[in-house]
Amino acid sequence: MSAPLLALRGAGASFHGASALSGVDLAIAPGEIVTVVGPNGAGKSTLIRLAIGALKPSAGKVERRAGLRIGYVPQKLHAEAAMPLTVDRFLKLGASAGRAERARMLEHVGAGGLAGRQLSALSGGQLQRALLARALLRKPDLLVLDEPTQGLDAPGAARFYALIEQVQREEGCAVLLVSHDLSVVMRASDRVVCLNGHVCCEGKPQAVLDSAEWKALFGASEAQALAFYQHRHDHDHDHVHDHDGACDHNHDHSHDHAHAAQGGGAAA
């Protein structure tokens, strides 16, 4: 088994004395798609910030493979209309790719006609494709996306996630993704991680769906909805999924996680 691209070892993060994450052990292998799920305030965005190096752990450590290239797509980006910036100029910032390569990448993500458009004039879906193109210009080993379809309607989100799957197949990069989308959790993920201030459960999608930890976090109705989606997906594609894998963490979820939402950061 190859060494992980990225590994969190007992990692934790605190803001103003309040714990946002604690004892997180998570490794990302080359080429795999890992989806992180959890309720609001679970620390999902904090985990992403630890992974990309935007936040230093207050406990434990984060290990990255030497020379690891990370491409990052944030939840959202606010582009000021008062500051003219075309999509092509945005892609050029901090990148060594030439004009032809930038144009090729925009075509690759289905945004070929946007190079001369103002960033502030893009729709939500167009902006996310521009952000994805910029991340891919780094030729990443690991593509990190923090709820990238926030604000998109259901068809737009479905198209964007289909694009992510296509990009992952073609580029061969690993993907670390925060998502609430059922189709991503059940269809595209190699592994699902349930987070609620710590790793409650992880494993293959079906193993997580069947776990007591998942039901404690999201309730029986959500589990039933996912089971219904899984049944339809299996029926539609006539494909048998391997459901090996286990949620080997047995945690008491009755305690309250206090997350700071001010100053130095917030759990989300």
Write out pLDDT tens, residues 54-80: 999 999 999 999 999 999 999 878 777
pLDDT at 244: 41
Q: Is the pLDDT of residue 24 over 60?
A: yes
Average pLDDT, stretch 49-55?
Answer: 95
Cβ 174 vs Cβ 142: under 8 Å:
yes
Decide which of 102 and 218 is more confident.
102
Please give the model's pTM, rounded to 2 decimal places: 0.79
Distance, in Å, from the CA atom of 214 to the CA atom of 163, rounded to the nearest integer, reads 28
* Tokens 């434990």 belong to residue: 60
Confidence of residue 19 (pLDDT cuts 50, 70, 90): very high
Q: Is the pLDDT of residue 133 over 70?
A: yes
pLDDT at 209: 81
Cβ 130 vs Cβ 77: under 8 Å:
no
Distance, in Å, from the CA atom of 142 to the CA atom of 27, rounded to the nearest integer, reads 12
Average pLDDT, stretch 37-45?
Answer: 90
